[in-house]
Amino acid sequence: MDSGDRNPTDKSSSEDGRSGTKLTPGMRPGARYIYYRLYTKDGPLESNSPIYSNDRFISRIASSSVRPPHTATSLLRYLCKIEGLALQNCILFQSLSEITALDDLIHLSLWGTTGPGTSNGDPMALVVDKSAAERRSQVTSVVQPQGLFEGDHEHRYVYYCVYDDDGEIVPKTSFDDNNPSLGRIKTLSVPPPHTVSSLKNYVIKSEDVSAINVLLFEDEGSESAMTDNDALTLLSDTFPGFTEDRPIAITYESGTANGSADNEDPDDIQTRKLMEALAQVKKELNEVREGWEKAKETHVREINEALSAILPAQLKPSTFTKILKATNDWGRRSMRPIVVSLVFIDLSRVIPPAEVVDYRMEWLPGDKLFWKTGFFISDPTSFLDDVVFC
Protein backbone atom coordinates (compact mmCIF):
# COMPACT_ATOMS: atom_id res chain seq x y z
CA MET A 1 0.00 0.00 0.00
CA ASP A 2 1.26 3.44 -0.88
CA SER A 3 1.77 5.30 2.39
CA GLY A 4 2.07 8.67 0.68
CA ASP A 5 -0.02 10.69 -1.72
CA ARG A 6 1.66 10.13 -5.09
CA ASN A 7 0.98 10.31 -8.78
CA PRO A 8 0.97 6.74 -10.12
CA THR A 9 3.07 7.85 -13.09
CA ASP A 10 5.54 9.87 -11.02
CA LYS A 11 6.73 8.36 -7.73
CA SER A 12 8.37 11.48 -6.30
CA SER A 13 7.64 11.56 -2.55
CA SER A 14 6.88 15.27 -2.72
CA GLU A 15 4.08 14.91 -5.25
CA ASP A 16 0.54 16.01 -4.54
CA GLY A 17 -1.83 13.15 -5.29
CA ARG A 18 -4.51 15.57 -6.50
CA SER A 19 -2.72 17.27 -9.34
CA GLY A 20 0.81 15.95 -9.63
CA THR A 21 2.35 19.24 -8.52
CA LYS A 22 4.60 20.00 -5.60
CA LEU A 23 3.18 20.66 -2.15
CA THR A 24 1.06 23.77 -1.97
CA PRO A 25 3.23 26.87 -2.37
CA GLY A 26 3.21 29.14 0.64
CA MET A 27 2.48 26.36 3.15
CA ARG A 28 4.10 27.48 6.39
CA PRO A 29 7.12 25.59 7.72
CA GLY A 30 6.04 22.72 9.93
CA ALA A 31 2.56 22.50 8.44
CA ARG A 32 1.43 19.25 6.82
CA TYR A 33 -1.56 17.57 5.25
CA ILE A 34 -4.18 15.85 7.41
CA TYR A 35 -5.83 12.92 5.62
CA TYR A 36 -9.29 11.70 6.53
CA ARG A 37 -12.03 9.37 5.31
CA LEU A 38 -15.76 10.04 5.47
CA TYR A 39 -18.40 7.57 6.65
CA THR A 40 -21.98 7.30 7.69
CA LYS A 41 -22.90 4.54 10.14
CA ASP A 42 -23.91 2.48 7.09
CA GLY A 43 -20.72 2.81 5.03
CA PRO A 44 -18.38 5.19 3.18
CA LEU A 45 -19.47 8.71 2.18
CA GLU A 46 -18.08 10.66 -0.78
CA SER A 47 -16.04 13.73 0.05
CA ASN A 48 -16.86 17.14 -1.37
CA SER A 49 -13.16 17.48 -2.11
CA PRO A 50 -11.80 14.04 -3.03
CA ILE A 51 -8.16 13.26 -3.70
CA TYR A 52 -8.45 10.32 -6.11
CA SER A 53 -10.75 9.57 -9.01
CA ASN A 54 -11.03 5.90 -8.01
CA ASP A 55 -11.49 6.53 -4.28
CA ARG A 56 -13.72 9.52 -3.65
CA PHE A 57 -14.14 8.81 0.06
CA ILE A 58 -10.77 10.19 1.15
CA SER A 59 -9.64 13.81 1.32
CA ARG A 60 -7.14 16.04 3.06
CA ILE A 61 -6.64 19.54 4.42
CA ALA A 62 -3.62 21.65 5.34
CA SER A 63 -2.97 21.65 9.09
CA SER A 64 -2.49 25.42 8.93
CA SER A 65 -6.23 25.73 8.11
CA VAL A 66 -7.24 24.57 11.57
CA ARG A 67 -7.85 27.28 14.15
CA PRO A 68 -5.71 27.16 17.32
CA PRO A 69 -5.82 25.64 19.83
CA HIS A 70 -5.60 22.39 17.92
CA THR A 71 -8.28 20.38 19.70
CA ALA A 72 -10.52 17.69 18.28
CA THR A 73 -13.36 20.23 18.20
CA SER A 74 -11.42 22.86 16.21
CA LEU A 75 -10.38 20.23 13.65
CA LEU A 76 -13.90 18.79 13.47
CA ARG A 77 -15.40 22.25 12.92
CA TYR A 78 -13.19 22.88 9.90
CA LEU A 79 -13.81 19.44 8.40
CA CYS A 80 -17.57 19.88 8.78
CA LYS A 81 -17.33 23.31 7.15
CA ILE A 82 -15.63 22.10 3.98
CA GLU A 83 -17.77 18.94 3.80
CA GLY A 84 -21.06 20.82 4.29
CA LEU A 85 -22.01 18.91 7.44
CA ALA A 86 -23.60 19.96 10.72
CA LEU A 87 -21.11 19.82 13.59
CA GLN A 88 -23.55 18.26 16.08
CA ASN A 89 -24.08 15.24 13.80
CA CYS A 90 -20.42 14.25 13.43
CA ILE A 91 -17.78 12.43 15.45
CA LEU A 92 -14.05 12.13 14.76
CA PHE A 93 -11.77 9.11 15.18
CA GLN A 94 -8.00 9.50 15.39
CA SER A 95 -7.56 6.55 13.02
CA LEU A 96 -9.66 3.85 11.35
CA SER A 97 -8.63 1.32 14.00
CA GLU A 98 -9.78 3.36 17.01
CA ILE A 99 -12.74 2.00 18.97
CA THR A 100 -13.77 5.29 20.62
CA ALA A 101 -14.18 8.76 19.12
CA LEU A 102 -11.91 11.63 20.16
CA ASP A 103 -12.87 13.70 23.18
CA ASP A 104 -13.82 17.24 22.15
CA LEU A 105 -11.12 18.97 24.19
CA ILE A 106 -8.21 16.61 23.53
CA HIS A 107 -5.16 18.35 22.04
CA LEU A 108 -3.91 17.04 18.67
CA SER A 109 -0.44 17.25 17.15
CA LEU A 110 -1.15 18.66 13.70
CA TRP A 111 2.30 20.03 12.84
CA GLY A 112 5.45 18.17 11.91
CA THR A 113 5.73 14.59 10.71
CA THR A 114 3.83 12.90 13.52
CA GLY A 115 0.25 12.96 14.67
CA PRO A 116 -3.12 11.77 13.34
CA GLY A 117 -3.85 11.58 9.61
CA THR A 118 -0.23 11.86 8.44
CA SER A 119 -0.80 9.73 5.31
CA ASN A 120 -3.53 8.35 3.10
CA GLY A 121 -2.64 4.91 4.45
CA ASP A 122 -3.46 5.94 8.01
CA PRO A 123 -6.16 8.61 7.77
CA MET A 124 -8.48 9.94 10.44
CA ALA A 125 -12.18 9.05 10.19
CA LEU A 126 -15.11 11.47 10.14
CA VAL A 127 -18.40 9.66 10.86
CA VAL A 128 -21.74 11.40 10.36
CA ASP A 129 -25.35 10.33 10.91
CA LYS A 130 -26.94 9.06 7.71
CA SER A 131 -29.91 11.45 7.85
CA ALA A 132 -27.55 14.41 8.35
CA ALA A 133 -25.44 13.28 5.37
CA GLU A 134 -28.54 13.33 3.18
CA ARG A 135 -29.15 16.95 4.20
CA ARG A 136 -25.52 18.07 3.72
CA SER A 137 -24.89 21.28 1.82
CA GLN A 138 -22.81 21.06 -1.32
CA VAL A 139 -19.55 22.97 -0.98
CA THR A 140 -17.92 23.68 -4.32
CA SER A 141 -14.61 21.84 -4.60
CA VAL A 142 -11.58 23.63 -5.96
CA VAL A 143 -10.49 20.33 -7.51
CA GLN A 144 -12.09 19.44 -10.85
CA PRO A 145 -12.77 15.73 -11.58
CA GLN A 146 -10.43 15.78 -14.57
CA GLY A 147 -7.65 17.00 -12.26
CA LEU A 148 -7.81 13.87 -10.08
CA PHE A 149 -5.40 10.97 -10.38
CA GLU A 150 -5.95 7.33 -9.58
CA GLY A 151 -4.74 6.12 -6.24
CA ASP A 152 -2.68 2.94 -6.10
CA HIS A 153 -4.14 1.53 -2.89
CA GLU A 154 -3.85 -2.17 -2.21
CA HIS A 155 -7.40 -3.31 -1.52
CA ARG A 156 -8.07 -5.64 1.37
CA TYR A 157 -11.30 -7.55 1.81
CA VAL A 158 -13.44 -9.30 4.37
CA TYR A 159 -14.74 -12.57 2.90
CA TYR A 160 -18.08 -13.91 4.07
CA CYS A 161 -20.97 -16.30 3.49
CA VAL A 162 -24.60 -15.43 4.24
CA TYR A 163 -27.41 -17.66 5.52
CA ASP A 164 -31.11 -16.90 5.83
CA ASP A 165 -33.73 -19.03 7.62
CA ASP A 166 -33.43 -21.83 5.09
CA GLY A 167 -29.71 -21.91 4.49
CA GLU A 168 -26.99 -20.50 2.25
CA ILE A 169 -27.80 -17.72 -0.22
CA VAL A 170 -25.82 -16.14 -3.05
CA PRO A 171 -24.51 -12.78 -1.84
CA LYS A 172 -24.80 -9.65 -3.96
CA THR A 173 -21.06 -9.13 -3.63
CA SER A 174 -20.22 -12.52 -5.14
CA PHE A 175 -17.10 -12.25 -7.30
CA ASP A 176 -16.10 -15.83 -8.21
CA ASP A 177 -18.23 -17.85 -10.63
CA ASN A 178 -16.67 -21.03 -9.30
CA ASN A 179 -17.70 -20.13 -5.75
CA PRO A 180 -20.84 -17.97 -6.04
CA SER A 181 -21.77 -18.31 -2.36
CA LEU A 182 -18.68 -16.34 -1.32
CA GLY A 183 -18.97 -12.56 -1.01
CA ARG A 184 -16.51 -9.85 -0.05
CA ILE A 185 -16.39 -6.21 1.04
CA LYS A 186 -13.48 -3.79 1.25
CA THR A 187 -12.09 -3.33 4.74
CA LEU A 188 -11.91 0.43 4.14
CA SER A 189 -15.69 0.46 3.58
CA VAL A 190 -16.51 -0.58 7.14
CA PRO A 191 -17.12 2.54 9.27
CA PRO A 192 -15.38 2.95 12.62
CA PRO A 193 -15.49 1.71 15.25
CA HIS A 194 -14.39 -1.65 13.81
CA THR A 195 -16.53 -3.98 15.87
CA VAL A 196 -18.63 -7.05 15.13
CA SER A 197 -21.72 -4.84 15.18
CA SER A 198 -20.43 -2.38 12.56
CA LEU A 199 -19.17 -5.19 10.30
CA LYS A 200 -22.40 -7.20 10.28
CA ASN A 201 -24.40 -4.00 9.83
CA TYR A 202 -22.39 -3.07 6.72
CA VAL A 203 -22.69 -6.59 5.27
CA ILE A 204 -26.48 -6.58 5.74
CA LYS A 205 -26.71 -3.11 4.15
CA SER A 206 -24.60 -4.35 1.23
CA GLU A 207 -26.90 -7.33 0.78
CA ASP A 208 -29.97 -5.07 0.97
CA VAL A 209 -32.07 -7.63 2.83
CA SER A 210 -34.76 -7.24 5.46
CA ALA A 211 -33.20 -8.96 8.41
CA ILE A 212 -33.55 -9.39 12.16
CA ASN A 213 -31.52 -11.35 14.72
CA VAL A 214 -28.33 -10.96 12.70
CA LEU A 215 -25.41 -13.05 14.02
CA LEU A 216 -21.76 -13.13 12.97
CA PHE A 217 -19.62 -16.26 13.36
CA GLU A 218 -15.83 -16.19 13.11
CA ASP A 219 -16.00 -18.97 10.55
CA GLU A 220 -18.47 -21.55 9.31
CA GLY A 221 -17.34 -24.08 11.90
CA SER A 222 -17.87 -21.82 14.94
CA GLU A 223 -20.31 -23.06 17.58
CA SER A 224 -21.25 -19.64 18.95
CA ALA A 225 -21.62 -16.16 17.50
CA MET A 226 -19.25 -13.31 18.27
CA THR A 227 -20.35 -10.52 20.62
CA ASP A 228 -21.42 -7.22 19.05
CA ASN A 229 -18.87 -5.22 21.03
CA ASP A 230 -15.91 -7.42 20.08
CA ALA A 231 -13.20 -5.33 18.38
CA LEU A 232 -11.92 -6.34 14.93
CA THR A 233 -8.44 -5.48 13.62
CA LEU A 234 -9.47 -4.96 10.00
CA LEU A 235 -6.22 -3.15 9.18
CA SER A 236 -4.08 -6.13 10.22
CA ASP A 237 -3.53 -9.60 8.78
CA THR A 238 -5.34 -11.47 11.55
CA PHE A 239 -8.99 -10.44 11.44
CA PRO A 240 -11.86 -12.93 10.82
CA GLY A 241 -12.61 -13.36 7.12
CA PHE A 242 -9.13 -12.28 6.03
CA THR A 243 -8.76 -15.15 3.56
CA GLU A 244 -11.11 -16.68 1.00
CA ASP A 245 -10.74 -20.18 2.41
CA ARG A 246 -11.90 -19.10 5.88
CA PRO A 247 -14.74 -16.60 5.48
CA ILE A 248 -16.91 -15.33 8.30
CA ALA A 249 -20.50 -16.56 8.42
CA ILE A 250 -23.47 -14.24 8.87
CA THR A 251 -26.93 -15.56 9.64
CA TYR A 252 -30.22 -13.72 9.85
CA GLU A 253 -33.96 -14.20 10.05
CA SER A 254 -36.31 -12.58 7.59
CA GLY A 255 -37.96 -9.47 9.03
CA THR A 256 -39.88 -6.36 8.06
CA ALA A 257 -37.18 -3.91 9.07
CA ASN A 258 -34.64 -2.70 6.52
CA GLY A 259 -31.54 -4.04 8.14
CA SER A 260 -31.23 -5.59 11.57
CA ALA A 261 -33.49 -4.28 14.29
CA ASP A 262 -30.57 -3.23 16.46
CA ASN A 263 -29.09 -1.12 13.65
CA GLU A 264 -31.90 1.38 13.34
CA ASP A 265 -30.79 4.90 12.51
CA PRO A 266 -30.06 6.79 15.78
CA ASP A 267 -32.00 9.86 14.59
CA ASP A 268 -35.07 7.70 13.92
CA ILE A 269 -34.72 6.08 17.34
CA GLN A 270 -34.46 9.46 19.06
CA THR A 271 -37.43 10.88 17.11
CA ARG A 272 -39.58 7.86 17.96
CA LYS A 273 -38.67 8.05 21.63
CA LEU A 274 -39.45 11.78 21.75
CA MET A 275 -42.85 11.21 20.13
CA GLU A 276 -43.61 8.42 22.59
CA ALA A 277 -42.56 10.64 25.51
CA LEU A 278 -44.72 13.50 24.19
CA ALA A 279 -47.74 11.21 23.86
CA GLN A 280 -47.20 10.00 27.42
CA VAL A 281 -46.99 13.59 28.72
CA LYS A 282 -50.24 14.48 26.94
CA LYS A 283 -51.92 11.40 28.41
CA GLU A 284 -50.76 12.26 31.93
CA LEU A 285 -51.83 15.89 31.47
CA ASN A 286 -55.33 14.80 30.44
CA GLU A 287 -55.51 12.51 33.45
CA VAL A 288 -54.50 15.38 35.74
CA ARG A 289 -57.08 17.66 34.11
CA GLU A 290 -59.83 15.07 34.53
CA GLY A 291 -58.82 14.54 38.17
CA TRP A 292 -58.91 18.28 38.79
CA GLU A 293 -62.39 18.58 37.27
CA LYS A 294 -63.66 15.73 39.42
CA ALA A 295 -62.12 17.27 42.55
CA LYS A 296 -63.71 20.61 41.67
CA GLU A 297 -67.13 19.03 41.22
CA THR A 298 -66.77 17.18 44.53
CA HIS A 299 -65.71 20.37 46.30
CA VAL A 300 -68.68 22.35 44.94
CA ARG A 301 -71.07 19.57 45.86
CA GLU A 302 -69.74 19.41 49.41
CA ILE A 303 -70.05 23.20 49.81
CA ASN A 304 -73.62 23.16 48.53
CA GLU A 305 -74.54 20.26 50.80
CA ALA A 306 -73.10 22.17 53.77
CA LEU A 307 -75.07 25.29 52.82
CA SER A 308 -78.21 23.21 52.45
CA ALA A 309 -77.79 22.01 56.01
CA ILE A 310 -76.85 25.39 57.50
CA LEU A 311 -79.11 27.98 55.79
CA PRO A 312 -82.54 26.42 56.54
CA ALA A 313 -81.66 26.36 60.23
CA GLN A 314 -80.71 30.04 60.22
CA LEU A 315 -83.36 31.39 57.85
CA LYS A 316 -86.95 30.39 58.56
CA PRO A 317 -88.98 30.93 55.43
CA SER A 318 -92.54 32.28 55.78
CA THR A 319 -95.36 29.91 55.16
CA PHE A 320 -97.80 32.72 54.26
CA THR A 321 -97.90 35.51 51.73
CA LYS A 322 -96.16 38.73 52.76
CA ILE A 323 -97.56 42.03 51.56
CA LEU A 324 -96.19 45.57 51.50
CA LYS A 325 -98.89 48.24 51.14
CA ALA A 326 -98.59 52.01 50.68
CA THR A 327 -100.47 53.79 53.47
CA ASN A 328 -100.67 57.38 52.32
CA ASP A 329 -103.01 58.65 49.69
CA TRP A 330 -101.86 62.07 48.55
CA GLY A 331 -104.51 62.36 45.92
CA ARG A 332 -104.09 61.83 42.21
CA ARG A 333 -102.67 65.27 41.58
CA SER A 334 -99.96 64.97 44.21
CA MET A 335 -99.39 61.27 43.57
CA ARG A 336 -95.74 60.32 43.81
CA PRO A 337 -94.05 56.91 43.59
CA ILE A 338 -92.68 55.26 46.70
CA VAL A 339 -89.14 53.86 46.35
CA VAL A 340 -88.41 50.86 48.57
CA SER A 341 -85.20 48.81 48.69
CA LEU A 342 -85.66 45.19 49.69
CA VAL A 343 -83.05 42.49 50.11
CA PHE A 344 -84.18 38.94 50.52
CA ILE A 345 -82.80 35.42 50.15
CA ASP A 346 -84.70 33.12 47.88
CA LEU A 347 -84.70 29.84 49.81
CA SER A 348 -86.12 27.99 46.84
CA ARG A 349 -82.68 28.35 45.23
CA VAL A 350 -80.38 27.11 47.97
CA ILE A 351 -78.66 24.71 45.55
CA PRO A 352 -76.81 26.25 43.78
CA PRO A 353 -75.78 28.44 46.71
CA ALA A 354 -78.43 30.82 48.09
CA GLU A 355 -78.81 33.84 45.87
CA VAL A 356 -79.07 37.29 47.52
CA VAL A 357 -81.23 39.63 45.46
CA ASP A 358 -81.53 43.42 45.83
CA TYR A 359 -84.91 44.72 44.69
CA ARG A 360 -85.48 48.45 44.13
CA MET A 361 -89.15 48.99 43.45
CA GLU A 362 -91.51 51.85 42.66
CA TRP A 363 -95.27 51.81 43.07
CA LEU A 364 -98.14 54.26 43.72
CA PRO A 365 -100.19 54.58 46.92
CA GLY A 366 -102.60 51.72 47.29
CA ASP A 367 -100.45 49.30 45.26
CA LYS A 368 -99.43 46.08 46.94
CA LEU A 369 -96.27 43.89 46.64
CA PHE A 370 -96.51 40.15 47.19
CA TRP A 371 -93.72 37.61 47.63
CA LYS A 372 -93.48 34.01 48.80
CA THR A 373 -90.85 31.45 49.88
CA GLY A 374 -88.54 34.21 50.90
CA PHE A 375 -87.08 35.65 54.04
CA PHE A 376 -87.10 39.45 54.37
CA ILE A 377 -83.82 40.67 55.92
CA SER A 378 -83.84 44.38 55.14
CA ASP A 379 -84.38 46.99 57.86
CA PRO A 380 -87.53 48.85 56.67
CA THR A 381 -87.45 51.62 59.34
CA SER A 382 -86.49 54.25 56.79
CA PHE A 383 -89.79 53.93 54.95
CA LEU A 384 -92.26 52.80 57.67
CA ASP A 385 -94.03 56.17 57.40
CA ASP A 386 -95.11 55.34 53.89
CA VAL A 387 -95.56 51.53 53.89
CA VAL A 388 -96.79 48.85 56.28
CA PHE A 389 -96.49 45.06 56.39
CA CYS A 390 -99.79 43.23 56.02
**pLDDT score for 331:** 46
pLDDT band at 134 (very low <50, low <70, confident <90, very high): confident
**pLDDT score for 144:** 53
pLDDT at residue 5 greater than cutoff 80: no
Q: Span 332-341, mean pLDDT?
A: 45
Q: Which of 97-106, 136-145, 156-165, 272-281 is least confident? A: 136-145
pLDDT at residue 383 greater than cutoff 70: no
Cβ partners under 8 Å of residue 50, min gap 6: 56, 57, 58, 59, 141, 143, 148
pLDDT band at 24 (very low <50, low <70, confident <90, very high): low
pTM beyond 0.75: the answer is no
Question: What mean pLDDT is reported for the chain?
Answer: 76
Q: Is the model more confident about 347 or about 309?
A: 309
pLDDT at residue 107 greater than cutoff 90: yes
Question: Under a CB-based contact definition with an 8 Å cutoff, are residues 8 and 18 in contact?
Answer: no
pLDDT band at 171 (very low <50, low <70, confident <90, very high): very high
Q: Span 313-317, mean pLDDT?
A: 53
Task: Measure Cα distances from 248 to 131, 159, 162, 242, 378 in Å.
Answer: 30, 6, 9, 9, 101
pLDDT tens-place string over residues 205-249: 999 988 889 999 999 999 999 999 999 999 998 899 999 999 999
pLDDT at residue 36 greater than cutoff 90: yes
pLDDT band at 274 (very low <50, low <70, confident <90, very high): confident
Q: Is the model more confident about 9 or about 241?
A: 241
Query: What phi and psi, each to the nearest 5 degrees, are found at residue 332?
Result: -65, -35
Question: Under a CB-based contact definition with an 8 Å cutoff, are residues 188 and 44 in contact?
Answer: yes
